[in-house]
């Protein structure tokens, strides 16, 4: 009997639709915003990962109603996802490949999840496993539909520039890095001052007072000036004091002001204003 499996690419952590053999290649990694490991393409499955017993998820309290989720040791891209408790509506922002019984139990004990929303394809991971485990919908911008490797009835493709999931949670299409790239504005976060969950659409850099934006992070491909101006304009009107990115980096205060200053610095760099050499 042929056993169908949902294979997972070990470099990006994205799970594929059922097949009896490994996919020919990973669509997500064979593209300049990701990369195929120099060791070659390798695959696993969630069942194998659970059986190996190598991985576990840590869930840490970050701020009132905000928890970070991370797989240890790092798997795939190594991103952090966030569990956000709104007023009567709990959201999983971005996702992890690894999901086991103890993670599900821990999240249920925290109140469970009502929906998953994703910033962009690099974190689609095993989103369908999570959606099925909690019987909840997944919100993805329709402009990134072509990057969904495991289709599911759980996925709701939304369109336009923003979507209010709940009075607390608004998704905004920012459209850099990926065409359908999205950030989450959590209006009541940070005690009402607002929190932005930015995926890697906006990345906090080594100097935590600044952010940057890239077309490709692993391959260091920057954005054109028109895109940088666009991000700044779209984010300026959003309400956030605190910003969390997909790699657990934080801007703890005046994050909106810091994003605007960072966009200006980026433009200065593109225009050669920054340089004296």
- Provide the CB-side half-sphere exposure for 124 (13 A, CA): 29
Residue 79 CA to residue 155 CA, distance in Å, equals 21
Question: Binder to Zn ion among 85, 122, 150, 203 (CB under 5 A)?
Answer: 122
User: In terms of CB distance, is 31 or 62 closer to Zn ion?
Assistant: 31
- The least distance separating Zn ion from the CB of residue 131, rounded to whole angstroms, comes to 20
What number of helices (H) and strands (E) belong to the chain?
5, 17
Pick the stretch among 25-33, 49-57, 128-136, 266-274 that binds Zn ion (CB under 5 A): 25-33
**265 vs 227, 242, 257, 260, CA distance in Å?**
14, 20, 12, 9
Decide: helix, strand or coil at residue 18.
coil
Determine, following the binding rule CB under 5 A, whether residue 113 of this chain makes contact with Zn ion: no
Question: Binder to Zn ion among 94, 129, 200, 245 (CB under 5 A)?
Answer: 200
Residue 271 CA to residue 277 CA, distance in Å, equals 14
- The least distance separating Zn ion from the CB of residue 22, rounded to whole angstroms, comes to 12
Length of the chain measured in residues = 277
DSSP state of 42: -
Pick the stretch among 61-69, 84-92, 198-206, 269-277 that binds Zn ion (CB under 5 A): 198-206
DSSP state of 19: B
Determine, following the binding rule CB under 5 A, whether residue 11 of this chain makes contact with Zn ion: yes
Size of the site for Zn ion (CB under 5 A): 8
Q: Nearest Cα to 40, choosing from 11, 20, 6, 75? A: 11
- The least distance separating Zn ion from the CB of residue 146, rounded to whole angstroms, comes to 15
User: In terms of CB distance, is 80 or 90 closer to Zn ion?
Assistant: 80
Determine, following the binding rule CB under 5 A, whether residue 141 of this chain makes contact with Zn ion: no
Determine, following the binding rule CB under 5 A, whether residue 95 of this chain makes contact with Zn ion: no
User: In terms of CB distance, is 123 or 130 closer to Zn ion?
Assistant: 123
Task: Summarize as ranges the residues that interact with Zn ion (CB under 5 A).
Answer: 9, 11-12, 26, 28-29, 122, 200
């Amino acid at each position: 009997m042929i056993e169908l499996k949902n294979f997972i690419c070990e470099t990006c952590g994205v799970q594929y639709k059922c097949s009896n053999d490994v996919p020919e290649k990973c669509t997500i990694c064979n593209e300049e915003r990701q990369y195929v490991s120099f060791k070659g393409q390798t695959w696993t499955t969630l069942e194998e990962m659970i059986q190996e017993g190598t991985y576990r998820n840590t869930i840490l309290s970050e701020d009132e109603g905000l928890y970070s989720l991370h797989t240890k040791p790092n798997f795939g891209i190594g991103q952090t996802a966030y569990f956000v408790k709104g007023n009567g509506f709990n959201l999983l922002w971005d996702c992890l490949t690894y999901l086991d019984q103890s993670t599900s139990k821990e999240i249920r004990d925290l109140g469970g999840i009502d929906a998953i929303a994703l910033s962009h394809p690099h974190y689609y991971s095993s989103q369908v496993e999570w959606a099925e485990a909690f019987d909840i919908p997944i919100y993805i911008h329709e402009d990134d539909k072509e990057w969904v490797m495991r289709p599911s009835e759980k996925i709701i493709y939304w369109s336009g520039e923003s979507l209010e999931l709940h009075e607390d949670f608004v998704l905004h299409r920012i459209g850099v890095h990926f065409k359908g790239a999205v950030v989450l504005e959590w209006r009541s976060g940070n005690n009402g001052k607002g929190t932005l969950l930015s995926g890697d659409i906006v990345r906090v850099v080594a100097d935590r007072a600044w952010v940057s934006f890239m077309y490709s992070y692993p391959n260091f491909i920057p954005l054109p000036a028109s895109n940088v101006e666009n991000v700044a304009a779209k984010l300026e009107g959003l309400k956030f004091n605190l910003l969390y990115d997909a790699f657990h980096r934080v801007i703890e205060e005046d994050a909106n002001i810091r994003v605007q200053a960072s966009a200006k610095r980026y433009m200065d760099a593109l225009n050669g204003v920054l340089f004296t050499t």
